[in-house]
Amino acid sequence: MAKAKTRFVCQNCGYTSSKWLGKCPECGTWDAMSEEVVAVEKAQSFLPQVEVPRPKTLKSIAKERIGRLVTGIGEFDRVLGGGIVPGSLVLLGGDPGIGKSTIVLDVGMKFSSEGIKVLYVSGEESEAQTAMRAERLGSAGDNLLIMTATDLAAILLQAQAVRPQVLVIDSIQTMYNTELETPAGSVGQLRECTSKLLRFAKSTGIAVIIIGHVTKEGNIAGPRLLEHMVDVVLQFEGERSYAYRVLRALKNRFGSTSESGIFSMEASGLREIDNPSGLFLEKRADQVPGSLVAAVLEGNRPLLVEIQALVARTPYGLPRRTAVGVDYNRVNMLLAILEKRLGMDFGTQDAYVNVVGGVKIAETAVDLAIIGSLVSSYRNKAIAPGVLALGEVGLTGELRRISFPERRIMEAAKLGFHKFIIPQGNLHFDKQKPSGIYQVHSVEEALAAIFA
């Protein structure tokens, strides 16, 4: 095959050059030149002579409904919006070793036992290694094909011959296009390989799942450009030292992005957790100062989390503040509110806040639970079991509304909670409203209710 003509394009300003440059002469950015294939332009009149696609009326299209490919892994299907759409390009990103290959191989095996043909291409592991993992996961049907390759042209050729319904690329960083001279994993290669896969998916109707590593900055496959090209971006995350994993949709052209799937990593692969709300409360020690439960929303589902705090006398000098799982600055702010509004003195006290189970919370609805656990530890007074505290705390010590309080309360009620401290506001319960709801205006009122 003749070498394609390539050029180097600055990813910052678009400057082009015939050779690679370390620094762009136009905008001065370092290491931004990436190789791209130059499309051969054919002489053509303005109006093309060839057959062009015809527009259709919306009504005639709506009749041809596309059936989704359903894995049978409930959590996975739900995040995708009810299964994979044929001809779509799905990008699955996540930290190294989090379990991306495991979940996708599991999906492939489930598909194959449903009679859906899958071609799993690994650029990282040999066929034997993949088979070893598959053995751990369970049994597959005859429709799962495994291949180790990194040359994209060869892969697409094989895929065309085999005609699977789903093609898996593990991972995009190991794939390369021989038309470019840059190594696999470079910006140019990533873009070129992804756009080839995109065209392949759209023209054949084969669904393509691409695995991508996440860089230190948290972007999938380095630059965000891949996220624009694909139909669905899934993020697989979790703390490596804990067993639970969360699958989130960051972008979905065919479904909601507010869904999430929760799994636990076990020796036999990933097990889905259908009812995760109480997952992190299992080993809760009752009646110890410095612990209070809040409910956060993971996608659409409420998840109960235990917030722990420890307030201890500073042995020397500057008091220490530590926050694990919640925002450090937020904890400092809440401590300042307690000092100013309630006259507590943390100037000589270390304060540690921790969310049990390695959960990371970005919601401000846990403010009140943080405050409650801090005060509980400060006063050395345990909070009675069965108390749930929800609410964002403002700088004047007022309690601000949170989203979907009903959903969180109902979930906690199911798990045996019976006292709910929440901000003032309207509540709309579909079913019967549980008793024990305290609607309060301020932190003082909330604390009075919590310790009553």
Ligand X SMILES: Nc1ncnc2c1ncn2[C@@H]1O[C@H](COP(=O)(O)OP(=O)(O)OP(=O)(O)O)[C@@H](O)[C@H]1O
Q: Which residues of the chain form contacts with ligand X (CB under 6 A)?
A: 94, 96-102, 124, 136, 213, 265, 267
Scan for tokens 């290491």, then name that residue: 31
Scan for tokens 């993949």, then name that residue: 130
Binding mask 52-91 for Mg ion (x = CB under 5 A): ----------------------------------------
Contacted entry of Mg ion, ligand X, none for residue 117, CB cut-off 5 to 8 Å set by kind: none
CA distance 210 to 90: 6
101 forms part of the interface with Mg ion (CB under 5 A): yes
Contacted entry of ligand X, Mg ion, none for residue 188, CB cut-off 5 to 8 Å set by kind: none
Which C-beta is closer to Mg ion: that of 102 or that of 291?
A: 102
Which C-beta is closer to Mg ion: that of 169 or that of 338?
A: 169
Contacted entry of Mg ion, ligand X, none for residue 146, CB cut-off 5 to 8 Å set by kind: none
Rounded to the nearest whole angstrom, what is the least distance from the CB of residue 123 to ligand X in the complex?
Answer: 10
CA distance 183 to 162: 28
Which C-beta is closer to ligand X: that of 106 or that of 259?
A: 106
252 forms part of the interface with Mg ion (CB under 5 A): no
Residue pair 238/260 in contact by the 8 Å Cβ criterion = no
Which C-beta is closer to Mg ion: that of 99 or that of 423?
A: 99
Rounded to the nearest whole angstrom, what is the least distance from the CB of residue 168 to ligand X in the complex?
Answer: 12
Contacted entry of ligand X, Mg ion, none for residue 122, CB cut-off 5 to 8 Å set by kind: none
| Nearest one of 193, 148, 202, 200 to 173, comparing CA atoms | 193
Which C-beta is closer to ligand X: that of 240 or that of 441?
A: 240
Rounded to the nearest whole angstrom, what is the least distance from the CB of residue 268 to ligand X in the complex?
Answer: 8
Q: Dihedrals φ, ψ of 326, to 5°? A: -130, 165
Give ∠ CA 149-150-154 in degrees, rounded to 5: 70
Which C-beta is closer to Mg ion: that of 175 or that of 421?
A: 175
Query: Could you tell me the CA-to-CA distances from 81 to 85, 106, 274, 291 in Å, in that order?
Result: 9, 18, 16, 37
Q: What is the size of the binding site for Mg ion (CB under 5 A)?
A: 1
Spatial CB neighbours of 121, under 8 Å, sequence gap ≥ 6? 147, 148, 149, 155, 167, 168, 169, 170
Rounded to the nearest whole angstrom, what is the least distance from the CB of residue 238 to ligand X in the complex?
Answer: 10
Give Rg (Cα) of the chain: 27
Contacted entry of ligand X, Mg ion, none for residue 255, CB cut-off 5 to 8 Å set by kind: none
Task: Give the burial class of 54: count Cβ atoms within 10 A of its Cβ; 0-12 exposed, 13-18 middle, 19 or more buried.
Answer: exposed
235 forms part of the interface with Mg ion (CB under 5 A): no
> End-to-end alpha-carbon separation of the chain, Å?
80
Rounded to the nearest whole angstrom, what is the least distance from the CB of residue 115 to ligand X in the complex?
Answer: 25
Which tokens in the block code for residue 156? 């697409």
Contacted entry of Mg ion, ligand X, none for residue 102, CB cut-off 5 to 8 Å set by kind: ligand X
H helices then E strands: how many in the chain?
11, 21
Rounded to the nearest whole angstrom, what is the least distance from the CB of residue 262 to ligand X in the complex?
Answer: 16
CA distance 440 to 397: 12
CA torsion angle for 93, 94, 95, 98 (degrees, to 10)?
Answer: -130
Task: Give the burial class of 239: count Cβ atoms within 10 A of its Cβ; 0-12 exposed, 13-18 middle, 19 or more buried.
Answer: middle
Rounded to the nearest whole angstrom, what is the least distance from the CB of residue 170 to ligand X in the complex?
Answer: 7
Contacted entry of Mg ion, ligand X, none for residue 48, CB cut-off 5 to 8 Å set by kind: none
Rounded to the nearest whole angstrom, what is the least distance from the CB of residue 226 to ligand X in the complex?
Answer: 16
Contacted entry of Mg ion, ligand X, none for residue 373, CB cut-off 5 to 8 Å set by kind: none
Contacted entry of ligand X, Mg ion, none for residue 96, CB cut-off 5 to 8 Å set by kind: ligand X
| Nearest one of 89, 110, 294 to 209, comparing CA atoms | 89
Rounded to the nearest whole angstrom, what is the least distance from the CB of residue 93 to ligand X in the complex?
Answer: 10
Q: Which stretch binds Mg ion (CB under 5 A): 10-18, 45-53, 94-102, 360-368?
A: 94-102
Rounded to the nearest whole angstrom, what is the least distance from the CB of residue 211 to ligand X in the complex?
Answer: 7
Q: Which residue is nearest to Mg ion (CB)?
A: 101
Contacted entry of ligand X, Mg ion, none for residue 301, CB cut-off 5 to 8 Å set by kind: none
- Residue 222, sorted as left (phi over 0), alpha (psi -120 to 50) or beta, turns out to be left
Which C-beta is closer to ligand X: that of 100 or that of 110?
A: 100
| Nearest one of 301, 302, 297, 353 to 325, comparing CA atoms | 353
For every residue of 201-238, DSSP letters joined together read HHHH--EEEEEEEB-TTS-BTSSTHHHHHSSEEEEEE-
Interface residues with Mg ion (CB under 5 A) are 101
